Structure 1
Amino acid sequence: MQKIVLNGITWGHSRGITPLLAVSQRYSELHPDVEIRWKKRTLQEFADFPIEELTKEYDLLIIDHPWVGCADATRCVLPLNEYLSADYLRDQQTNSVGLSHISYNYNNNQWALAIDAATPAASYRKDLLSDVPQTWDDVITLAKQGKVAVPAIPIDILMNFYTFCIANGAEPFQNEDEVIDEVTGIKAIETMKELYSVVDKKMFSRNPIAVAELMTTTDDYLYCPFAYGYSNYARKGYAEHLLHYTDVVSFNGKRLRTTIGGTGISVSAFSKHKEVAVDFAAMVTSGECQSTMYVQHGGQPGHRSAWTDTAANHLTNYFFTQVLPVMDNGYMRPRYNGYLHFQDHAGDPLQDCLEYDGDPSKALQEMNKLYQQSLSKQTAVTA
């Protein structure tokens, strides 16, 4: 009997690849006629190559939720609500980590299942820092001592811009004229300048993984106020020094709301083995698998049962219980078809403004142009 081979594409960090390899191996043991092969790409490669093109080559795809507007427009992945039971999807919704599950639902179709959940959270070296910042002023004080690391590549700065718009009183993307009103936008950028003007300039080339590596391989930095969390760095034996994760600080008396990330698993509409691919997706995102094999092999589950599981928290020095309040308070980005054009480019003028002490109003003008372009791309596809 000829084997069924499923090809999958994911991202090349231990959090992204290792648990998939483990669960796929077990799936093949349970279904000897099925083999699942995974290819890994860098996060940048994912950004540079349209996912809709990858659906022609791969049966299973690990995606980011802002892409689901494109999925809805192109129908290149399956609406999983047409393949999975209502009870299964109800369990996924009930056990969502923050807005993770609903972030893959667009126009009443479920384009992916939340396999992984993440949001920017604070992290620190417990062996070096006893007085963990609780307020924004505490962060700035520590940053001025040169002890704060923070990801400052364009995409991370943009995600934090959303956070500081909310902190200064308004959510972005509330109308089609501008990303945010000018008063709030300028306040947000000026607030961010307080931090980014005093951290080491090399942060402007560091993403969250690079910051976590920096903090766990050297003693130069004690604290990071917000970076997409990786439970791997909180696990004994993974890195030279452990990171401990905690809630983000308060700003004007309220906890910051960070911008949720994580990933979902989609099934290509072009797959020759749709039912098998859906069955695997359902297995790997089930509460049973997520709270056992998935988390045990380096995963950061999208199912709430794993986040509240005692063994999972012992394994990660309570990463999950510490970060869960941040997840539950998280902000969800837009997902309209065309948004990714904005996300791919809007961090550039923002980074220039923060790195070189530029004019916030000019940065906002450039961002608004990109916003209008992204909306016109949506119109062009749907017209």
Structure 2
Amino acid sequence: MTIRLKGITWDHERGRDSIVAASRAYADAGHGVEVEWEARSLQAFADQDLDALASAYDLLVIDHPHIPHAAQAGLLVALPDGEGPAEYVGRSDESYRWRGVRYGLAIDAAAQVAAYRPDLLAEPPRTWPDVLDLARDGAVLWPAKPIDAFASVFTLSSGLQGGDAGGRGFADPDAFAQGWHLLGRLRDLVPRECLGENPIQTSDRLAASDRWAYAPLLYGYSNYARAGFREHVLRWTDIPEIDGSPRGSMLGGAGLAVSARGTHRTEAIAFATWVATSEVQSGVYARAGGQPGHVSAWADAGLDELTGGFFAGTRRTVELASLRPQHPGYMAVQDAACERVHRGLVSREPAADVLADLDRMFESLGAQDAGR
């Protein structure tokens, strides 16, 4: 008898094709389990309430900031430790734990990195002054719709202060002011439509037109580094350095979780655990367009060659990435913070005014280490 599970993922080749291919391989291997996948938009992936999804699906590919609320509400099954945190790149595994329990498996790893066209730019800029010089030449894009503008502010604040933003208040005032000034200068040098774009749209523009050659802060997509994915290949590299280090990038990625409301939880856990193993992550999952979280994939020379050096080129940034506060109330705060940051950028507001509002929002979360 074949057991049929339902899964929900996000609608991009990286998030859809990879997990569908892994599911087919799992069924073909004789496990007696088939998974039917549906996909939702990238924005819904970041925003959608998990309560309804947990009732409708057995398996959920989710954004890690949802974990504390979902765990506290009893929406997700606690998953076995299996391969430990060191088996996943950077802080990917940590991001799916709440109060010492793992509620998601880091099958996909990402952070804000940089992208460039190797046919137009021999070497990407390594420092922010170099980025701004290139932007003055009209060659730079920067996705800055509300969630991505907030991610960039979080990245620069974390990097400049040398630790995660979003602690007691949002950020050190001096670090925030420096970051806000940099992003304000970048805003004035890139096309205005960047303020409404996400990383996929920016990557598509970079890959389609010879007008632009570089983007300094956007979530990485190894798909664009694979021959034939788009008209032109993108190369991915570390974000511009702060004090000689590409630190502070806001950690993204995606995790595979199991609904606590599903009928076949044992089978769903077995499948999720299988997908997160080294063999699958470095094999069928990655080669079908996935961007694995497992360290073995990041160290695989064949995968690095397949993706034009994506893994070697961005690994330092991912390993030095910052983590958003782990708190059940975080997503509501992030929604408000995204709107506030974007409005401040569009209106050219002073750093102090924007930071004052962000500080109030993040102070409302209370003790930020409650879920560690």
Q: TM-score, normalised by structure 1?
A: 0.91
For 1:57 and 1:21, locate their aligned partners in 2 and report how far apart those are by CA, in whole Å. 18
State the Cα deviation string for residues 57-110 of structure 1 (Å, max 9, x = none): 1000001111111122112100103xxxx5x233xx221100001111110100
Q: Is the 8 A contact 2:157 2:172 kept in 1?
A: no
1:129 alignment partner, one of 121, 135, 145:
121
* Partner Cα separation in structure 1 for residue 92 and residue 162 of structure 2: 22
Partner in structure 2 of residue 329 of structure 1: 320
2:352 to 361, 365, 368: 361
Deviation string 1:226-271 (CA, Å, 9 cap, x unpaired) is: 2110000000010100001112222344434211100100000011
Q: Is the 8 A contact 1:170 1:184 kept in 2?
A: no
Residue of structure 2 equivalent to 1:289:
280
- The superposition leaves residues 158-187 of structure 1 with CA deviations (integer Å, 9 ceiling, x where unpaired) of 111122213333542332xx2224343333
Report what 2:33 is aligned to. 34
Separation (CA, whole Å) in 1 of partners of 2:244 and 2:44: 39
Q: Which runs of 5 or more residues in structure 2 are unaligned?
A: none
Query: SS in structure 1 opposite 2:153?
Result: helix
Q: Which residue in 1 is equivalent to 2:78? A: 79
Q: Does 1:12 align with 2:27?
A: no
Query: Alignment RMSD, CA only?
Result: 2.0
Per-residue deviation at 1:357?
1.4
2:105 match? 113
For residues 32 and 168 of structure 1, the distance between their equivalents in structure 2, rounded to whole angstroms, comes to: 49
1:94 matched to 2:86: yes
Describe the SS at the equivalent of 2:189: coil
Which residue of structure 1 aligns with residue 188 of structure 2? Answer: 197
Q: Counterpart of 1:168 in 2: which secondary structure?
A: helix
Out of 140, 151, 158, which is 1:166 matched to?
A: 158
Partner secondary structure for residue 363 of structure 1: helix
Return the alpha-carbon distance in structure 2 between the equivalents of residues 103 and 111 of structure 1.
10
Q: Which amino acid aligns with 1:228?
A: Y
Q: Where do residues 334-353 of structure 1 align in structure 2 (5 Å cutoff)?
A: 334-353=325-344
Q: Distance in 2 between matches of 1:103 and 1:167?
A: 18
Is 2:13 aligned against 1:21? no
Which residue of structure 2 lines up, in the alignment, with residue 52 of structure 1? 51
The answer as to whether partners of 1:166 and 1:257 remain within 8 angstroms in 2 is yes
Contact 1:154 1:348 in 2 (8 A): yes
Q: Which residue of 2 aligns with 1:152?
A: 144
**2:353 is paired with a residue of what secondary structure?**
helix
Aligned equivalents of 2:207, 2:296: Cα separation in 1: 28
- 1:366 deviation in Å? 2.6
Aligned-partner SS, 1:250: coil
Please tell me whether the aligned partners of residues 119 and 330 of structure 1 are also in contact (alpha carbons under 8 angstroms).
Answer: yes
Alpha-carbon separation, structure 1, partners of 2:123 and 2:4:
53
**Does the CA contact (< 8 Å) of 2:337 and 2:358 recur in 1?**
yes
- Paired residues, number: 369
Answer yes or no: is 1:267 the counterpart of 2:255: no
Q: Any conservation in 2 of the 1:100–1:114 contact (CA below 8 Å)?
A: yes
d(CA) in 2 for partners of 1:42, 1:200: 25
Name the amino acid aligned to 2:83.
L
- Aligned twin of 1:207: 198
Amino acid at match of 2:137: Q
Separation (CA, whole Å) in 2 of partners of 1:108 and 1:233: 36
Q: Which runs of 5+ in 1 are unaligned?
A: none
Question: Identity across aligned pairs (percent)?
Answer: 34
One-letter amino acid of the counterpart of residue 247, structure 1:
D
The whole-number CA distance in structure 1 between the counterparts of 2:130 and 2:5 is: 50
Structure-2-length-normalised TM-score: 0.94
Q: Distance in 2 between matches of 1:325 and 1:170?
A: 15
Equivalent-residue separation in structure 1 for 2:4 and 2:14 (angstroms):
23
Question: Is residue 72–residue 107 contact of structure 1 (8 Å, CA) maintained in 2?
Answer: no
Please state how far the C-alpha of 1:26 moved relative to its aligned partner.
1.4
1:143 counterpart letter in structure 2: A
- AA in 2 matched with 1:68: I
Contact 1:122 1:226 in 2 (8 A): yes
Aligned residue for 2:66?
A: 67
Residue 89 of structure 1 aligns to a residue in which SS? coil
